[in-house]
Amino acid sequence: MLNKYPLWKNLLIVFTLVVGGIYAAPNLYPDDYAVQVSGASTATTLTQRTLDKALKGLDQANVAYHGAEVLEKGLLIRVASSEEQLRAKASITRTLGDDYVTALNLAATTPDWLTSIGAGPMKLGLDLRGGVHFLMEVDMGAAVAQRMDVYVSEIKTRLRSERVRYRSVTHAADGSLKIKFTSLEARDQGHSLLRKEFKEFALADTDAQGEFFLTVNLAETKVAEIEAYAIKQNLTTIRNRVNELGVAEPLVQRQGPNRIVIQLPGVQDTAAAKRILGKTANLEFRLEAAPDAPRSSLETYEFREAGRRPADIEKDVIITGSAVSNAQANFDENGQPQVSITLDSSGGKLMNRVTRNAIKRRMAVLFIEHKTRTRYEKVDGVEVEKRIPYVEKKIISLATIQSALGNSFRITGLDGAGESTELALLLRAGALAAPIYFVEERTIGPSLGQQNIDLGVTSVKIGLAMVLLFMLVFYKTFGIVANVALVLNLALLTAAMSMLSATLTLPGIAGIVLTVGMAVDANVLIFSRIKEELRNGMPPQLAINAGYDRAFSTIFDANITTLLVAVILFAVGTGPVKGFAVTLSLGIIFSMFTAIVVTRALVNAIYGGRKINKLSIGWGV
């Protein structure tokens, strides 16, 4: 029958529109300002008792909140405004202490029945929604100190290989290295060797109480080089960690000589993000000290696992986490969490060289974290929060070397799957070249300014209203059909972006506006063709059929060329350009569906299968 779809096609259209409406619905629910709390380590558990303690602190600080719950990833407390959010964070940090990470967040208000089927709002970029802002500072002094510690091992190795007799190499409090030799002749040999092989050193001979010393300082140019590398490497590592978090269109950039700005739009677990971004975790692999080893050559460390006795391990480091090229969390044959490590070529050679001469000895894996303690001091009568940095070193594994190790091995002794996953992420993303600390955290408004966004949204509404009015006036009943299809097109586009977790930015809105124009343009072509057939004397039913059939090829050609351009933009573009390409591509696909298939179904429902003498399609027929 002419202008009638079969039942299956109508049902398919209805099903598509219903699913699109359901998955677009979460965008009707705005987010709440919130504070999120998680453990400082994955082993820290959060319970209702922890939440009650935090809420008691809020009550004492007169901070209002309208929702609080214990989630799988931590505690979530909802507040009314960004000002209350900052006050709540300060109160909770003071109440719970340093065993917990408190972070600002935006909490979704999507109903449970929608989230249970995987429906959620689309992500908005920093220019539209804002997000979480972190300002982090790199400890340049620690970067130089760490490099000097590496030099200690290198100098010892070179002196031994050249048979230069020395007593000790120590890292002094003033940052220099002090080398103590057995004789004046040995010091002269050491001086000549180091001057030849370490051009970056400034060397000075010193004598004290009949002892022969060589003081080693770094040249200023080398210090500057180390500091530049530290900020560059930390910037790369932070970017890698943000990428591992899966944040859409983040901003990570350098600010000044030693600071990094991080802006994360729409992060759902800011507490975890804060813990991972700021965690200066690294590994050191060292041999266990021999029973008769002098105290000056070893250090004693506790285990992370409670109940185990401390162990003595050698000061010399075999390799550090910086030699790790890949790390994956998995489980051993007993179901215990572990991290499978792959070293780079130089790290594998060092590990093999040391372990092949240490069969049956035990090797320790030392886990190093740079942390901060919170202290409150009164300055001019005002209580100020201060963060005091400190380093925590504990053994996570002490295993017997059964055979020479190479590029691949495993780390065990971890506190659960969460810690193994996090450790693998940190090692995979790369080691931080120097400790890094949070100096500022806040939620930020849209980068374009709320007034500009409101004006932009208003202009879109006015433009959309004028398009709807134009179609209604010029095409009457067919104009209503086109308007309904246009609204459905926007709903489907919103649903698709939500389901794909695409990020909407202002260029993306421009893509949506362009899609609206293209969708209406397709209907104008179809309706104009129908008018033309009517003017040529064709019966209404035949005119409808001919209008859709004959306009299709023109519409398809115009849209497919635009879609190809959008695909190229997505392939070669970045950031906002890619966002524009995504919305444009999806918009073209859905406009073809709504402007041709959906409007045809609606016209069929109105006119199909019955005798008609005239169509309500506007002027000129």
Both structure tokens of 563? 């879609």
Instruction: Give dist(CA 497, CA 379) in Å, integer.
Output: 50
Q: Give me the helices (H) in 25-181, please.
A: 48-60, 82-96, 112-115, 140-161
User: Mean pLDDT throughout 66-81?
Assistant: 86
pLDDT at 502 over 80: no
Q: What is the pLDDT of residues 330-354, one digit of tens each?
A: 888 778 888 888 888 888 888 888 8
Residues in Cβ contact with 252 at an 8 Å cutoff, skipping those fewer than 6 apart = 235, 238, 239, 242, 260, 261, 262, 263
**pLDDT band at 15; cut points 50, 70, 90:** very high
- State the pLDDT at residue 327: 80
Q: What is the 3-state secondary structure (H, E, C) of 524-572?
A: HHHHHHHHHHHHCCCCHHHHHHHHHHHHHHHHHHHHHHHHHHHHHHHHH
177, containing H or E segment: strand 177-181
Residue with tokens 């000097």: 148
Cα of first residue to Cα of last residue in the chain, in angstroms, is 25
User: Mean pLDDT throughout 258-275?
Assistant: 73
User: Mean pLDDT throughout 104-113?
Assistant: 82
Residues in Cβ contact with 288 at an 8 Å cutoff, skipping those fewer than 6 apart = 311, 312, 313, 314, 361, 362, 363, 364, 398
Which CATH number does 7-26+449-607 carry?
1.20.1640.10
- State the pLDDT at residue 83: 80
**pLDDT band at 614; cut points 50, 70, 90:** confident
- State the pLDDT at residue 501: 75
Please choose, from the candidates 314, 252, 253, 249, the residue with its C-alpha nearest in 3D space to the C-alpha of residue 286: 314
Q: What is the pLDDT of residues 457-476, one digit of tens each?
A: 777 778 788 888 888 888 88
Please choose, from the candidates 216, 147, 229, the residue with its C-alpha nearest in 3D space to the C-alpha of residue 180: 216
Instruction: Give dist(CA 203, CA 218) in Å, integer.
Output: 9
pLDDT at 40 over 80: no
Contact (Cβ atoms closer than 8 angstroms) between residue 293 and residue 299: no
- What kind of fold does domain 280-417 have according to CATH? Gyrase A; domain 2 (3.30.1360)
Domain-wise residue ranges, the chain: 7-26+449-607, 32-107, 141-221, 280-417
Contact (Cβ atoms closer than 8 angstroms) between residue 409 and residue 341: yes
**pLDDT band at 43; cut points 50, 70, 90:** low
Contact (Cβ atoms closer than 8 angstroms) between residue 548 and residue 523: no
pLDDT at 35 over 80: yes
Domain 32-107 part of CATH 3.30.70.260? yes
In this prediction, what percent of the chain has a pLDDT beyond 70? 89
pLDDT at 449 over 60: no
**pLDDT band at 300; cut points 50, 70, 90:** very high
Instruction: Give dist(CA 73, CA 46) in Å, integer.
Output: 9
Please choose, from the candidates 424, 433, 370, 422, the residue with its C-alpha nearest in 3D space to the C-alpha of residue 236: 433
Contact (Cβ atoms closer than 8 angstroms) between residue 100 and residue 124: no
Residue with tokens 């029973």: 291
366, containing H or E segment: strand 362-379
Q: What is the pLDDT of residues 233-246, one digit of tens each?
A: 888 888 877 776 66
Residues in Cβ contact with 358 at an 8 Å cutoff, skipping those fewer than 6 apart = 287, 401
Kindly tell me the sign of the dihedral angle through the C-alpha atoms of 72, 375, 81, 457: negative
Contact (Cβ atoms closer than 8 angstroms) between residue 66 and residue 79: yes
User: Mean pLDDT throughout 550-557?
Assistant: 87
pLDDT at 312 over 90: yes
Assigned superfamily of 141-221: General secretion pathway protein M, EpsM (3.30.1360.100)
Tell me the average pLDDT of the chain.
82
The reply to whether domains 141-221 and 280-417 share a CATH topology is yes
User: Mean pLDDT throughout 552-560?
Assistant: 86
Largest pairwise CA distance in the chain: 119
pTM: 0.57
Q: Name the E strands within 380-485.
A: 382-400, 408-411, 436-444
